[in-house]
A and B are shown apart, each in its own frame.
Chain A
Amino acid sequence: MEVHQHPEKKYYLITDESRCKGCGLCIAFCPKNCLGFSDEYNDKGWRVAKMQRMRDCIKCYMCERSCPDFAIFIDENEQTEKEELLKEEKTQEEKKN
């Protein structure tokens, strides 16, 4: 398992190389071109997908939803998400005022 954390939004993106079969769907459908093939092979001999540019990630879930093997997924960080919501509410209130 390789874990990447978004530098600002703090959610995690996890790739599980023991499940990956290297089909490349997540790489092809990522709208921000964040993912790429790794130089390493897993136990089954597949060349696995890897997160390469987490900074560009926009949390669109395209990779998680296109993966047929449940090998890539996003783990939302609940705490930071609440903070974000609070921030948004604050800015909206400020705009109103």
Chain B
Amino acid sequence: MTAKKKTNEIDTSTMVKNPPKKFHHPYDELLRKYAIPTIYCPGCGIGTTIQAFLEAITKYTDIPHENIVVISGIGCTGRASGYINLDGFHAIHGRAIPFASGVEIARPDIKPVIISGDGDLFSIGMGHLAHAARRNIDMTVIVINNSIYGLTGGQDAPTTPVGALTKTTPYGKISYPFNLSQIAIANGATFCARYTVYEFTPLAKAIARGMNHQGFSFIEVISNCHVNFGRRNNLGDAIAMRKQFKKARVRMTEKDINKDWHKTDIEFKVGVGFTKIPTGIFLEEKERPIEFSERIVNAYEIKKS
């Protein structure tokens, strides 16, 4: 047998001139089509994460779409709620979680999903996140960690690794970054996962699992901001950054859930890039912890009787 030669010839014979029907993207009904194309830079990981979220709600969970509310704060990521054709709210900077808490307490049957950036949720909105996790309010937080403030032009964020060059740290960052997953777990989140944008299907499944979980669930997505973070740190374009994620990810298995979440620091080398990104589901509290709106109802019943 002779090995098949790899040819680079262009073959146009498979093209259909008169398509039998009008084709549309499988998630077109869940997108606000007038807003597409998005404002995101070519290759940005936020678009891929939005698609993973849409895949999660259509394929992997039974929650009806009219019971999902997408809430986001300010930033490139914050625009996600404007592109998704579900009920949603584009909150002011850092205040996505207070809004979601209100939604959840007023209508416990509704599932608030927060899609927001690392700068939005962990610098200006850090206090809100800590307290929502402490109260174990039933919501799903998807934080897109691109190690930078993308929208405003690449200032250093609480997730920027040591030594990285940004607009506001021209000699290299001198302070240490947050490990977002550990912060969420330490504050009381009952579900926590981290995936890179390269791992599309596991990410979609983790989002669905987090949404099915009763209580505060936290999903961290390591994304590429090649324009503001990659460019200044010589990490290349979107393709190069995603290939780096593919190489650097260290997947935890189902057996490691609830065990190794304290060994999940991301490693970054100046000039090289990400060298280790532990991914997987870190924590899932199996015995159903009582979430906030349920406890409110319980408290009322005790008072009545």
Contacts and interface: CB of A to CB of B under 8 A. Distances in A.
A12 interface: yes
Contacts of A36: 8, 10
Interface string A1-26: 11111110000101010110111110
Contact of B48 (A4, A24, A44, A68): A68
B14 interface: yes
Nearest to B47: A68
A55 B42 contact: no
Interface residues of B, number: 36
Contact of B42 (A1, A23, A53, A73): A23
Contacts of A70: 25, 27-28, 31, 36, 47, 51
B23 A1 contact: yes
Most B C-beta atoms less than 10 A away, residue of A3, A22, A24: A3
Contacts of A65: 48, 51, 200-201
A12 B38 contact: no
A75 B42 contact: no
A54 to B, nearest CB: 4
Interface string B97-118: 0000000000000000000000
The majority secondary structure among interface residues of chain B is: loop
A89 interface: no
Contacts of A52: 8, 10-11
B242 A25 contact: yes
A22 to B, nearest CB: 6
Contacts of A67: 47-48, 51
Contacts of B64: none
B20 to A, nearest CB: 9
A24 B43 contact: yes
A25 B11 contact: no
A73 B15 CA distance: 15
A24 B226 CA distance: 13
Task: Name the interface size band of chain A.
Answer: 35 or more
Nearest to B204: A65
Contact of B16 (A5, A21, A23): A5
B205 to A, nearest CB: 13
Contacts of B19: 1, 3, 12
Interface string A60-93: 0000011111100101000000000000000000
Contacts of B38: 68-69
Contact of B37 (A5, A14, A44, A54): A44
A23 B7 CA distance: 23
Interface of A: 1-7, 12, 14, 16, 18-19, 21-25, 28-29, 33, 36, 44, 46, 51-55, 65-70, 73, 75
Interface of B: 6-11, 14-16, 19, 23, 25-28, 31, 36-38, 40, 42-48, 50-51, 200-201, 237-239, 242-243
10 contacts: A14-B23, A21-B37, A25-B238, A36-B10, A52-B10, A54-B11, A66-B48, A67-B51, A68-B38, A70-B36
Closest 7 CB pairs of A and B: A68-B47, A23-B43, A23-B42, A54-B14, A21-B42, A65-B200, A28-B239
